[in-house]
Chains A and B, each alone.
Chain A
Amino acid sequence: MLILTCPYCGVDADETELTPGGEAHLTRHGPGSSDDDFHDYLFARDNPRGVHFERWRHTYGCGKWFHAARSTDTLEVFGTYPAQTTEPPKDICDKISGERPGWSWRIFG
């Protein structure tokens, strides 16, 4: 039963107010993209046992989409941030590095 802080309205939202939306920071590939790129965009997913960046919507609250950095093995939440960005904010990455030295993101590039 997660609690995530919505970075828009500041509410500590219970999981029942939220809708999960899968991996964050995917790049959309449209017409003209290769089969591989399009496949990866739609289906290939980071599925780490550890630090994960993911999308959530504060559905039964302010309605905004946001991102969370969360551990999938301890469920620790490292931080949440607005969805209008293409990569995780530095302060959150630094915090994760402090707690889990050697972690990496998108090791497959």
Chain B
Amino acid sequence: MSLRLRDGGRLIDRSARMAFQFDGRSLTGFAGDTLASALLANDKMLVGRSFKYHRPRGVVASGAEEPNALVNLAQGGTFEPNQRATTTELFDGLTATSQNHWPSLEHDIGAVNSSLARFLPAGFYYKTFIHPRPFWKHIYEPFIRQSAGLGKAPKDRDADRYEHFYYFCDLVVIGGGVAGLQAARVAGEAGAKVLLLEQSAHWGGRAPVDGGEIDGRPAEAWVTDTLAVLEAMPNVTLRSRCMGAGVYDHGYLLAYERLTDHAPQADGPRHRLWRIRTQQIITATGAIERPLSFAGNDIPGVMLASAVRDYVVNYGVAPGQRTVVVTNNDDGYRTAICLKQAGLDVPRILDARETGGGALMEEARALGIRIDCGRAVGKVQGGKRVKSVQVCAQKGSGSALEEVACDAVAMSGGWSPVVHLWSHCGGKLVWDDVQAHFRPDADRPPLGRSGQGFVAVAGAANGALTGAVADADAMARGVVQAIGLKPGKGIAPAETQPEELPIEPVWLMPAQAKTELKAKAWLDYQNDVKVSDVQLAAREGFESVEHTKRYTTLGMATDQGKLSNINGLAILSDALGQPIPQTGTTTFRPPYTPISMGAIAGEARGDIFQPVRETPMYGWNDSNGADWEPVGHWRRPYAYVRSGETVHDAVMREVTNTRENVGLLDASTLGKLIVKGPDAGKFLDMLYTNMMSTLKPGRCRYGLMCTENGFLTDDGVVARIDEDTFLCHTTTGGADRIHAHMEEWLQTEWWDWQVYVANVTEQYAQIGVVGPKARAVLETLGGMDLSAEALPFMAWADGKIGAFDARAYRVSFSGELSYEIAVPASRGQAFWDALLEAGKAHGIMPYGTEALHIMRAEKGFIMIGDETDGTVIPQDLGLNWAISKKKDDYLGKRAQERVHMTDPDRWKLVGLETVDGSVLPDGAYAVAEGTNANGQRNMQGRVTSTYHSPTLGKGIAMGLVKHGPDRMGEVLEFPGTDGTVFKAKIVDPVFYDKDGDKQNV
């Protein structure tokens, strides 16, 4: 059983007891524990179930590489699935439940999969569940989905906050072990602005556990001293609980700081995402120990040797009382020595090497531990915990020589550098035959924007499993020079460690393991991938490492193969009979370990996710019944709904009132661009299809804009302010887009033209005063002369209206007598109020966008976005009158000459009127006879806008119809989506006041 030792535990505070719950059971641990160490201290060897076979799973590691010990943490708005117990700091009141089982962790029905494992090899689902067809969706797939998936889905809205943080520096050192500390010190002393990140809460990495001396002092003391030196440097910033998550192009680095995961009651954001730009990065991310692939290596109680000593030294927790150590390298002996020194039993060290190890082996032997060389684990016996191991010869096929009773197995298969961050942005790897691992190839680093490498690697991450501090010292000196600084004169601290003999790669234990053993030798614990699965993949032709990964799911679990990848590709290489480097690795992708979606999103959520652009009258609109319609980042009132009304009622009322009395429109969102300069007229002649240069100051003209590809993109009224100045109105959605469009042409094509453009959309509040009584209302306020003589249709003038400085445009999008009046934005609400007050006697009411749309449709005016959709040219809409024949060129002119654009069969704008007065459905198509070559019903037109017109008391619509203008009076059929067929007559698109008498009064 696993238990808390009487003494020891450098990271825990035995005076601070912490209560927590696991699967509903109340347990206790100490401050400084991780959830994993606290669970082990309570003899919780079984902590979860695997993905596919629902095998019992126990803690196997002590850090970010842990694939097994994943829990559902907390409840409600702070619930989170798949939390790694090994990196979850214990806090008082923590609640966790185990995952992926039913009905309970101990008794899991899904474990039947384990006994059927033989029938569920890698890729079995590709080969079966094929018949009968509907069964996949309705029976097989739901079953597979339910049995996979690990943690539960969160149900509630996230109760926490997150933030983003920007940081700029010369160098980021990732990893706060001895290599990282030394690298930061070298760079800090040279004067660089340095950020040093450590993913855990503790500095020093493995060194304090593994022992040895640096500069003649115990590693832990050296760490403490160095940390003090760094903290005193103003140019060095240290952050613990902050992981380097991803390296991106041009020195962009993401770091993920967990601020309150360990103290959920604390104020402030839970996570902080650091968005860093740095000249150089040093990754000092250490190395991860590899498991050994022997049968039963997944049974709870089998752990990485380094993790076993981490639990003993850091937390005073023994994973077992009798631990068999199995290794292929000298480092594994450290665990045996550590256990023995803690008073625990180590019945056997199995060293796969025929001749064993060096100094550490002698030390272990001196402690009285029995060491068997050339020996291996044939098989671990046990179910939910280890009972014994069968010992065999490493060179054999697994015949048991003896059985050794134990309750834990510590395995060491050698160390793999953590190369993830080096690789994210294209850093290449090289295979190190001596140490049997991939390490960064310093000659092929990730390249920055200057084409030079911008990532360097230090310490164990660089393959320096010994001499990490010296390696870091040398690397940092190089990087300091790359930054353009001069490294100091200091010499690298000397490290003292026992001499080690080389590792002997062991990819399968024993080397000739029998088939049934290979089917029990796990590579990927979480996804249940075994040696036999990788061999099967190779046999079936999945020769690329990416194929094998995808076919078997090796390395695709939440640990992203931190423990399994190298072992898996060694098995694959062996199966293919090729050296490991030829097989290569899969691509390393960010993040290093999973980071919260909340942190990625940052602060921008809820109301400040895409903040709403507000007009000066936004607040008034909102408190006066506005039914909002999002338009770009604005919101416009669709209608002002009064109590007792439906939205439709409100729209009808607004149209009728505007036609009979007077309406007010908040038109402030319309784009307003000032185009100024000696060449402004010439420029607008290129931008618009119309001739704008001939417009007289004081007058307005409706204009059309096309893309260079010929399609209609925007429209609006242009007012000439003076000889050099125009004010161009755009659609609400068009202001920024058209402004950018103008700048692009001015800067990149006609850069010698003297024209300046300013977007003044938000400088003005613009209000439409619309309806037969509009003039009367404005005259009530007094001021400038707004008579038909002084300000005729399509003219504008500056002046005072009441107390307001105003610019009045006599334009009409409704067909009514209409003024659009611009006042300074700051005066918008006051002017609106004044108009409402002045209009009281005339029945004034505000109206929204839908009433606006209906009135323009009654008049046959097109709407960008309704009649146009990016495929429509002005000629389709009968707007030839707005296309100047006198101009040689305008944007879109050449495009409109292409064969498809001049095709007489293009659909053209017409009015549509149902024969029974009903409203045509939005987006309906007119059918023609027969079907096309693909069996689709032929079509001959479509509805572009359709409304009920309260003015005419019937449905009206506009549409594009093949040869439409030549087919007046013809009745077309428009099938609905519900089986009904609407019949509509082709009519003139102007339904109301064809002669324009009403707007010209």
Contact = CB atoms under 8 A, between A and B. Distances in A.
- A and B directly contacting (CB within 8 A): yes
Interface stretch (B58-66, B263-271, B479-487, B887-895): B887-895
Given A30-B889, A30-B893, A76 B751 contact: no
A83 B751 CA distance: 9
Contacts of B451: 71, 74, 76, 99
Contacts of B744: 21, 57, 65
B589 to A, nearest CB: 15
A31 B897 contact: yes
Nearest to B751: A84
B399 interface: no
Contact of B747 (A1, A3, A64, A74): A64
Contacts of B248: 1
A1 B249 contact: yes
B449 A76 contact: yes
A77 B449 contact: yes
Contacts of A14: 277
Contacts of A84: 747-748, 751
Interface string A15-54: 0000101000000111111010010001000000000000
Contacts, number: 67
Given A42-B709, A65-B748, A77 B894 contact: no
A83 B897 contact: no
B954 interface: no
B252 interface: yes
A82 to B, nearest CB: 9
Nearest to A78: B451
A3 B139 CA distance: 51
B708 interface: yes
B427 interface: no
Interface in A56-97: 57, 59, 63-65, 71, 74-77, 83-84
Contacts of A30: 889, 893-894
Contacts of A75: 249-250, 447, 449
Contacts of B249: 1-2, 75
How many of chain A's residues touch chain B, expressed as a range? 20 to 34
Contacts of B898: 35, 38
B166 to A, nearest CB: 10
A31 B749 CA distance: 16
A28 B450 contact: no
B894 A3 contact: no
B743 interface: yes
Contacts of A2: 249-250, 449
B742 to A, nearest CB: 11
A65 to B, nearest CB: 4
Contact of A59 (B449, B450, B740, B889): B740
Nearest to B743: A63
Nearest to B426: A74
Interface string B884-918: 00001100011101100000000000000000000
A77 to B, nearest CB: 5
A55 B748 CA distance: 9
Contacts of B463: none
Contacts of A65: 743-744, 747-748
B251 interface: yes
B889 A76 contact: no
B893 to A, nearest CB: 5
A10 to B, nearest CB: 16
A19 B447 CA distance: 23
Contact of B889 (A1, A19, A31, A57): A31
Interface in B701-750: 708-709, 740, 743-744, 747-749
B893 A3 contact: no
A28 B250 CA distance: 33
A74 B427 CA distance: 11
Given A75-B250, A84-B751, A3 B277 contact: yes
A32 B894 CA distance: 8
Contacts of A3: 250-251, 277, 449
Contacts of B895: 38, 42
Interface in B238-264: 248-252
Nearest to B888: A31
Contacts of A29: 894
A106 B763 CA distance: 46
A68 B764 CA distance: 37
Interface string B351-375: 0000000000000000000000000
Nearest to A33: B894
A99 B452 CA distance: 11
A28 B450 CA distance: 32
Contacts of B709: 42
A2 B748 CA distance: 22
A59 B894 CA distance: 29
Nearest to A12: B277
Contacts of A19: 740
Contacts of A71: 451
Given A31-B888, A63-B743, A75-B249, A38 B449 contact: no
Interface in B431-459: 447-451
Nearest to A15: B250
A74 B888 CA distance: 44
A14 B166 CA distance: 12
Interface in B394-452: 426, 447-451
Contacts of B450: 76-77
A71 B744 CA distance: 24
Interface string B743-767: 1100111010000000000000000
Please indicate which of the listed interface residues B252, B447, B449 has the most CB atoms of chain A within 10 Å of its own CB: B449
Nearest to A84: B751
B449 A42 contact: no
A19 B709 CA distance: 20
Nearest to B893: A31
A82 B249 CA distance: 24
A31 B252 CA distance: 46
Interface string B28-66: 000000000000000000000000000000000000000
Contact of B894 (A21, A38, A74, A83): A38
Contacts of A76: 447-451
Contacts of A31: 888-889, 893-894, 897
B903 to A, nearest CB: 15
Nearest to B448: A76
Nearest to A64: B747
B973 to A, nearest CB: 38
B380 to A, nearest CB: 47
Nearest to A2: B250
A88 to B, nearest CB: 15
B898 to A, nearest CB: 7
A65 B747 CA distance: 7
A83 to B, nearest CB: 5
A59 B895 CA distance: 28
Interface string B505-526: 0000000000000000000000
A30 B745 CA distance: 14
Q: Identify the 7 closest CB pairs spanning chains A and B, nearest first.
A: A1-B252, A76-B451, A65-B747, A84-B751, A3-B250, A1-B248, A77-B449
16 contacts: A1-B248, A2-B249, A3-B250, A3-B251, A21-B748, A30-B894, A31-B889, A31-B897, A38-B895, A42-B895, A71-B451, A74-B426, A75-B249, A76-B447, A77-B449, A77-B450
Interface of B: 248-252, 277, 426, 447-451, 708-709, 740, 743-744, 747-749, 751, 888-889, 893-895, 897-898
Given A2-B249, A65-B747, A83-B747, 16 more contacts: A3-B250, A19-B740, A29-B894, A30-B889, A30-B894, A31-B894, A33-B894, A35-B898, A38-B894, A38-B895, A42-B708, A71-B451, A74-B451, A75-B250, A76-B449, A83-B748
